Structure 1
Amino acid sequence: MRLHNPFSGSRLIGRNGVILHGGRLRPGRVGRTGKTLAAQVTALTVPEVATGIAGYAASYTPSLLPRPWYFQGLVAGIGAMSGYQLGLLATWLAETVAGRFGVRIKPGVRRGGIAAGAAVAGLGMVAIPLRSIRWHRQTAAYVRHPGPDAFWAVASAGAASGVFWLFLAQWRLTLASINILSTHLHNRFARDLVARAVSTLVVLATILVLLDQVILRGVVGVATTASAQVDLRTPPNVFQPTTPLHSGSGESLEPWDSLGLQGKRFTCAGPTLARVAEVMAGLPAASEEPLQPIRAYASMNGRTLPEVVDAVLAELDRTGAWERKAILVVTTTGRGNVNEWSTSAFEYLMRGDSAVAAMQYSGLPSAVTMISSKAVPVNASQMLFAAIEERVASLPESRRPKLYVAGESLGAFGSNGIFESPDDLFSRAAGGVWTGCPGFTPLQSAFTRRRSPDSTQVWPVVDDGRHVRFATTGDHLVTDPCDVPFGPWDEPRFVYLQNDTDPVVWWAPKLLWRKPEWMDEMRGTNTPMGRMTWVPVITFWQIAADMPVCRSIGAGYGHKYAAEQCVPAWAGVLGLDPATDWTPLLDALNTDVPPVAP
């Protein structure tokens, strides 16, 4: 029995069991001098073109952030290939069913379909990017970033075309290679099914590699390589600390050259005693007499995590940290980065009567650490916090410093992982500020699920803000989404700072198949979220492609949490009024924090 193609008069399977024409049924007979690869690749029919263009168009719809043309082209190429695969599946099913019943379509009709498909593809390739410029300019204006122009549209279309044809060539070549396998399968339907399934899986695997190697590595944007050589660098304006109360100083147990790139940035920064006294004169604070803040830090340097924890404790012992009023345990990002705006805000508001403890727990960038093992930042956070907690508990109750927690991005994920539940959090820590916490963080998700019905996932209200408050700006810390003032903010106090344009917060694997709640909740608002449309698979890639650029956006947008957000948050956590005019402190932070920080 011959298997016929409704768009062709030729067979799909040859008499020797080999898949003909790279998996595409074509009119005419094909021998050893059959169609060239180029001809095979370029023969697209209307169903495949229609679904491919639909995926391509969906990728140009608004997302959280404006993207460079090359990232937009990558997403558009993936969108086109995803749509193409869907159309290919539909075409193949139609061919199979039609072949069983002997249905055939004249070659002329097929040629007309190819011509129509080519016309639709050509028109869509140019028209869709040009039409989307207005949408992306609106997004750019919202985050105060330059918008795209006509070159962006043309360049992204060209990049998308290149990505799509590379994927298509890979798919066809893989399909052809399955001929070897097909000779061992005697059922023609099984041969075709296996060939197409394997080819599709190869393309999907390539896309996943792109996710890992191209997109997710840009999530944090600070660590760009896993090479240990990075930690040997000392950037400009980064100098060995002169105060003995910082790790890396001449008196420190941790040599300056051993701290690594991020450790050097952390220990050389921070306010001096004189700066604390100057800036905080006349401002409310959580302590009285100004002191020089303590900063304890240790890097991996070939050591195990328990050894790094012991090194941090030794620094806390050396600097007399147990005599301070508060200790802040910061979980760093993958290679050891700390949000300097947040840390310095804490030190200023404590008038320096504080110690900050942090450690490096990985030699890899955050994106790679997240993929390889999400347990690493959690384990490191638990070990460091438990060791400090145990030491504090051994002190007389009247002399015990309060323990606070902080972290950004992967650091926020790890810091949240210290605690098993909200009750565990409330019983073990006096407060904390987390910035850009990934949405799949269990503790954060638990609080979000507890939100009041009239609040959103972007700005959830939990128990009238009694212990935990979510915010983007300082105003969110004192009033709910209906502009009603919160009730008392009882200790312990915690803040999740999350920008509505931060892809690190809103990206999740389930975007592949499920529409997020925040998209419906924000519908109709004059925000990028309010203009977004969920499309299976495509939305996942759009937000993933926003991540490499999320640190290049201005403060308060994307994955950038700056002084204007961190100061009110820490003020509220420390029992001060977030609505106070903190201008002198904000000016000091914006002046003193070096550009390399966060």
Structure 2
Amino acid sequence: MATTSHAARLRGFARSFHPAGLTLALLFFVWSMTPSLLPRAWFLQAVATGISLATGYGLGCLVAWIVRLCGFSPRLPDRVRRAGWWALAVLTAVTVPTFLVLGSWWQQITRDLAGVERVDRADYLLILPLAVVVAIAILAAARAFRRGAAALTRLGSRFVPVRVARLLAVVLLGVLASVSINGVLHRGIISTADRSAATADQGTAEGVVQPSMPERSGSPASFQAWESLGREGRTFVAGGPSAGQIAEVTGRQAVTPIRVYAGHQATTDIEEAAALVVDELERTGGLDREVVAVATTTGRGWVNARVAAALEYTAGGDSAIAAMQYSFLPSPLSFLADRESPQVAGRALFEAVERAINERPASDRPKLVVFGESLGSFGGQAAFSGAPDMTARTDGALWVGTPNFSPQWAHITAHRDPGSPERLPVIDHGEHVRFAASGADLDLGGAPWSTPRVVYWQHASDPITWWSPSLVLQRPDWLREPLGPDLDPGVRWIPFVTFWQVTLDMVFSADVPAGHGHTFGPDAAQMWAAILNPEGWTEADTSRVHTTVAALATG
């Protein structure tokens, strides 16, 4: 009896699906298996496919509802209905396995292009069951929302017209859902993650020891206690080349580079943290160096070791890098919880250092450069109103893996020279600002390059740079134009689907070799050589720095 009851419920559940919805769901399944920017693990592909299935089903039902609303509701004979269901079943039986195989093949090609080791294609057989679970979960949530709206509509229709009651019910449930999700996100996930990250921040990475040289924050001579710098801050100040290592690589005399830092444990006030960093610059004599670099960190205070070291090698160690931590959270959670702090921090630190430099006689001022990666690029650019402001107030800038939501980047990219691609825009014929995926892109066909020089370093396969909510319904220029060399030629924009593909590409975007995705490495040597343009510097010098930096860990 129980078995019969379960079977009846299962049949009833199956009959609740609309054929138009299932047809579009099948189409979206096919689209979801196509390649995007980076290779995806099978479980991420399953999530993307599940969301796509649910999206396709919902759009199919929406189309059917609109057709009925227009008064077209044909009553087909049972024989025709059965034939239609059988046709859909056969089509599904052929299409699903075909595109599971094709999808696994496309992923292997994408892995080859990104320099990632291939995986067992049999894993992709697991995509279908997990995708179905994800799709059913989304559908169940949507149906629960619909039932709730119907109940509220019946209640509200006692007092107002039905259409008004229905609109109010949908709005009310939407607001409640939004408030609930945001509440859970901030009070639950974010607060828990913040406490966990704060605890982890007290640890020290393996192999990192307190520096003894006075040129580093956290040393015995420093105003900043070693324990206050945080995990990433300790890694930053303990790293970097010595004067001897720089001289060995460049063949020139060198001095010990300066690295100063203030951690979030020292103070949670961003303006105060910036002042602490300037105090460290004053203490170490950083403002007497040839180059002072302001680095805006990612959420947890990370600075790319390769980018920092490349600057120090190129400057012959006659440099000081100033950075500070403004959050305990890693960048993805920091982005969700607080987009304001990176901008406030980037602006506060740059302006504090700029003021300290401007207080010195004009003839005694160091070169002032800025850099930042990912959320650090987003925050660092907030100190400027745009490219003209950057070139007016700095002696150079290197913005690495800039997120799509960065307003300065977006404005500059949107106003690129006609005919230049969004992937690597040309700005005012390359007079001051240049975009590059590798060092070779900086040449720009031998066009003159005036100083100060601003470089945006970005990869065609980096989802951090190309992710945008507009991908849902709008094809971006970078998918209209010739694709980057590390993208599968089959990458296409597909409404709704591309958005979720790129969203999930971000999860492991830094787990690919340098030169792809969100991993930036030894080409920092070419970037800094072009920006700083040291006297007497040669391509051979850049090549040696490139080789040296390539051997470094990324953080």
For residue 407 of structure 1, give the secondary structure of its aligned residue in structure 2. strand
Residue 75 (structure 2) aligns with: 104
Equivalent-residue separation in structure 2 for 1:526 and 1:327 (angstroms) = 35
Q: Sort the Cα spacing of 1:172 and 1:123 in 2 relative to 1 into closer, same or farther, 3 A.
A: farther
Equivalent-residue separation in structure 2 for 1:452 and 1:164 (angstroms) = 43
Paired residue for 1:124, among 91, 95, 118?
A: 95
Task: Say whether the 8 Å CA contact 1:247–1:267 is kept in structure 2.
Answer: yes
Paired residue for 1:449, among 414, 434, 439?
A: 414
Instruction: State which drifts further: 142-151 or 33-42.
Output: 33-42
Task: Say whether the 8 Å CA contact 1:224–1:365 is kept in structure 2.
Answer: no
| The structure with more helix, counted as a fraction of residues | 2
1:141 Cα shift? 1.2
Equivalent-residue separation in structure 1 for 2:172 and 2:86 (angstroms) = 26
CA RMSD of aligned residues (A): 3.2
- 1:91 counterpart = 2:50: no
Residue segments in structure 2 that go unaligned for 5+ positions in a row: none
Task: Say whether the 8 Å CA contact 2:461–2:517 is kept in structure 1.
Answer: yes
Task: Say whether the 8 Å CA contact 2:436–2:455 is kept in structure 1.
Answer: yes
Residue deviations 1:56-100 (CA, integer Å, cap 9, x gap): 2111111000000011110111111111001111223344555xx
Residue 453 (structure 2) aligns with: 493
Residue deviations 1:177-198 (CA, integer Å, cap 9, x gap): 4453243237998499669968
1:367 Cα shift? 1.7
- 1:294 counterpart = 2:258: yes
Residue deviations 1:217-274 (CA, integer Å, cap 9, x gap): 9xxxxx9986311101112111111211111112211111111111111111001122
Task: Say whether the 8 Å CA contact 1:233–1:260 is kept in structure 2.
Answer: yes
List aligned pairs for 1:264-283, cutoff 5 A: 264-281=234-251
Paired residue for 1:352, among 317, 320, 331?
A: 317
For residue 422 of structure 2, give the secondary structure of its aligned residue in structure 1. coil
Percent of residue pairs bearing the same amino acid type: 32
Equivalent-residue separation in structure 2 for 1:173 and 1:446 (angstroms) = 42
- TM-score normalized by the length of structure 2: 0.89
- 1:397 counterpart = 2:362: yes
Task: Say whether the 8 Å CA contact 2:38–2:509 is kept in structure 1.
Answer: yes
Task: Say whether the 8 Å CA contact 1:226–1:365 is kept in structure 2.
Answer: no
Equivalent-residue separation in structure 2 for 1:415 and 1:238 (angstroms) = 27
1:423 Cα shift? 1.8
Q: Sort the Cα spacing of 1:102 and 1:555 in 2 relative to 1 into closer, same or farther, 3 A.
A: closer
Equivalent-residue separation in structure 2 for 1:522 and 1:205 (angstroms) = 39
Amino acid at match of 1:307: E
Task: Say whether the 8 Å CA contact 1:345–1:566 is kept in structure 2.
Answer: yes
- 1:367 counterpart = 2:332: yes
- TM-score normalized by the length of structure 1: 0.83
Q: Sort the Cα spacing of 1:203 and 1:455 in 2 relative to 1 into closer, same or farther, 3 A.
A: farther
Q: Sort the Cα spacing of 1:125 and 1:380 in 2 relative to 1 into closer, same or farther, 3 A.
A: same
List aligned pairs for 1:220-299, cutoff 5 A: 227-281=197-251, 289-299=253-263
Amino acid at match of 2:511: S
Residue 521 (structure 1) aligns with: 481
Task: Say whether the 8 Å CA contact 1:512–1:538 is kept in structure 2.
Answer: yes
Residue 420 (structure 1) aligns with: 385
Residue 12 (structure 1) aligns with: none
Residue 395 (structure 2) aligns with: 430
Equivalent-residue separation in structure 1 for 2:289 and 2:461 (angstroms) = 37
1:346 Cα shift? 0.6
- 1:316 counterpart = 2:281: yes
Residue deviations 1:493-544 (CA, integer Å, cap 9, x gap): 1111111111111111111121100111125x75426431111111111111
1:336 Cα shift? 0.4
Paired residue for 1:574, among 512, 524, 532?
A: 532
Residue 512 (structure 2) aligns with: 553
Equivalent-residue separation in structure 2 for 1:133 and 1:390 (angstroms) = 56
Residue 67 (structure 1) aligns with: 40
Amino acid at match of 1:568: Q
For residue 34 of structure 2, give the secondary structure of its aligned residue in structure 1. coil
Task: Say whether the 8 Å CA contact 2:327–2:334 is kept in structure 1.
Answer: yes
Equivalent-residue separation in structure 2 for 1:336 and 1:391 (angstroms) = 23
- 1:168 counterpart = 2:132: no
Equivalent-residue separation in structure 1 for 2:83 and 2:139 (angstroms) = 22
Q: Sort the Cα spacing of 1:160 and 1:322 in 2 relative to 1 into closer, same or farther, 3 A.
A: same
Q: Sort the Cα spacing of 1:116 and 1:269 in 2 relative to 1 into closer, same or farther, 3 A.
A: same
For residue 44 of structure 1, give the secondary structure of its aligned residue in structure 2. coil
For residue 413 of structure 1, give the secondary structure of its aligned residue in structure 2. helix
Residue segments in structure 1 that go unaligned for 5+ positions in a row: 1-31, 218-222, 283-288
1:387 Cα shift? 0.9
